[in-house]
């Protein structure tokens, strides 16, 4: 195809079989998955995000359910974002926290926090049995440009106690929020909100266009927090539009 060829021209997609939905367990779900053996995945991953896909481990997928369109890909346009009053309170209340962008490497400290988080937030949900192999496969991956945004309590000497980790992919001209886990015994800190605000600050420093937040689901309590970050854009299957919900 000469100079007109695109790296996505012959990209293969697979449709999974039916499986229990990770958000509504009583429903059956299917996904579209980019060929996980394709060596071009790092190159096409930014374009896939623009098509409403998401990464989980080494899989880049998008929900493709016959009778349900509940999962809506959303992203924050970084330059236009301004924290609301609640988010400003979160930043002020966590002004003592030290944040750094670290390599995506599992340590005993990371894994212990991850296990505590899953035990408190996802008990009996399938993920609470994750071991170190599942941690590495799910959060680190083998080909993505991934970082851990670490948030710690201050300490006089050495690193302070690890409170939260936002697993984040650096992709093209944006960031993708892959997963966040944090200390479950400190709800007053709003660590999940803080993680997104810190990712936005990282993106702003590097003049990146978007922070991709994965999927928002109308009526799902665990997904509702995403609509509090405004302005927000949603992918309608063809293009990104200003989120109206």
Report the pLDDT value the prediction gives residue 203, as an integer from 0 to 100: 98
Q: What is the mean pLDDT of residues 83-103?
A: 97
CA-to-CA distance for 102 and 205, rounded, in angstroms?
16
Same domain? 175 vs 213: yes
Same domain? 173 vs 55: no
Is pLDDT at 95 greater than 90 in this prediction? Answer: yes
Q: Which of these three, 71, 94, 121, is where a domain ends?
A: 71
Sign of CA dihedral 178, 15, 244, 23: negative
Could you say which DSSP state residue 24 is in?
S
- Give the CATH number of the domain where residue 169 resides: 3.40.630.30
Q: Which of these three, 22, 51, 71, is where a domain ends?
A: 71
Which H or E run includes 91? helix 85-93
Report the pLDDT value the prediction gives residue 187, as an integer from 0 to 100: 95
Same domain? 97 vs 195: yes
Query: In which band, very low, low, confident or very high, does the pLDDT at 1 lie, cut at 50, 70 and 90?
Result: very low
Furthest-apart CA atoms within the chain: distance in Å: 61
Coil/strand/helix, residue 1: coil
Parent domain of 44: 2-71
CA distances from 202 to 84, 96, 121, 197 (A): 18, 18, 27, 9
Same domain? 51 vs 105: no
Same domain? 53 vs 89: no
Same domain? 144 vs 158: yes
Same domain? 140 vs 34: no
Report the pLDDT value the prediction gives residue 7, as an integer from 0 to 100: 61
The average confidence (pLDDT) of the chain is 92
Query: In which band, very low, low, confident or very high, does the pLDDT at 5 lie, cut at 50, 70 and 90?
Result: low
pLDDT digits (tens, 9 = 90+) for 149-195: 999 999 888 889 999 999 999 999 999 999 999 999 999 999 999 99
Query: In which band, very low, low, confident or very high, does the pLDDT at 4 lie, cut at 50, 70 and 90?
Result: low
pLDDT over 90 for what percent of the chain? 80
Report the pLDDT value the prediction gives residue 232, as an integer from 0 to 100: 97
Same domain? 16 vs 119: no
Q: What does the block give as tokens for 68?
A: 């349900």
pLDDT digits (tens, 9 = 90+) for 43-78: 999 999 999 999 999 999 999 998 899 999 999 999
Same domain? 98 vs 57: no
The answer to whether the pTM exceeds 0.85 is yes
Half-sphere CA count of 18, side-chain side, radius 13 A? 7
Q: Which of these three, 48, 71, 94, is where a domain ends?
A: 71
Q: What does the block give as tokens for 26?
A: 């009583």
Same domain? 104 vs 35: no
CA-to-CA distance for 70 and 63, rounded, in angstroms?
9
Report the pLDDT value the prediction gives residue 2, as an integer from 0 to 100: 44
If one counts the domains in the chain, the total is 2
Same domain? 67 vs 85: no
pLDDT digits (tens, 9 = 90+) for 117-150: 998 986 655 565 678 999 999 998 889 999 999 9
Other beta carbons within 10 Å of 115: 17
CA-to-CA distance for 166 and 169, rounded, in angstroms?
10
Which H or E run includes 47? helix 41-50
Same domain? 120 vs 219: yes
CA-to-CA distance for 45 and 98, rounded, in angstroms?
30
Closest to 184 in 3D by CA, of 125, 102, 114, 128: 114
- Cβ neighbors of 164 (< 8 A, separation 6 or more) are 113, 150, 151, 180, 181, 182, 183, 191, 192, 194, 195
């Amino acid at each position: 195809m000469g100079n007109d060829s695109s790296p996505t021209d012959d990209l293969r997609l697979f449709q999974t079989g039916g499986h229990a939905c990770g958000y509504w367990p009583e429903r059956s779900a299917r996904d579209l998955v980019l060929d996980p053996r394709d060596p071009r995945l790092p190159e096409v991953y930014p374009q896939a995000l623009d098509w409403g896909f998401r990464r989980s481990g080494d899989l880049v997928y998008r929900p493709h359910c016959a009778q349900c369109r509940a999962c809506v890909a959303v992203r924050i346009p970084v330059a236009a974002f301004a924290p609301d009053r609640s988010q400003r309170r979160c930043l002020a209340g966590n002004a003592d926290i030290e944040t750094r962008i670290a390599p995506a490497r599992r340590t005993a400290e990371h894994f212990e926090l991850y296990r505590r988080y899953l035990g408190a937030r996802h008990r009996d949900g399938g993920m609470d049995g994750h071991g170190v192999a599942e941690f590495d496969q799910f959060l680190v991956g083998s080909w993505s440009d991934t970082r851990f945004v670490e948030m710690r309590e201050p300490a006089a000497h050495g690193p302070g106690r690890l409170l939260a980790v936002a697993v984040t992919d650096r992709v093209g001209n944006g960031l993708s929020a892959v997963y966040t886990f944090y200390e479950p015994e400190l709800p007053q800190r709003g660590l999940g909100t803080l993680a997104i605000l810190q990712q936005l600050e990282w993106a702003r420093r590097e003049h990146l266009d978007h922070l991709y937040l994965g999927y928002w689901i109308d009526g799902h309590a665990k997904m509702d927090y995403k609509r509090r970050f405004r302005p927000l854009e949603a992918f309608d299957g063809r293009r990104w539009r200003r989120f109206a919900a």
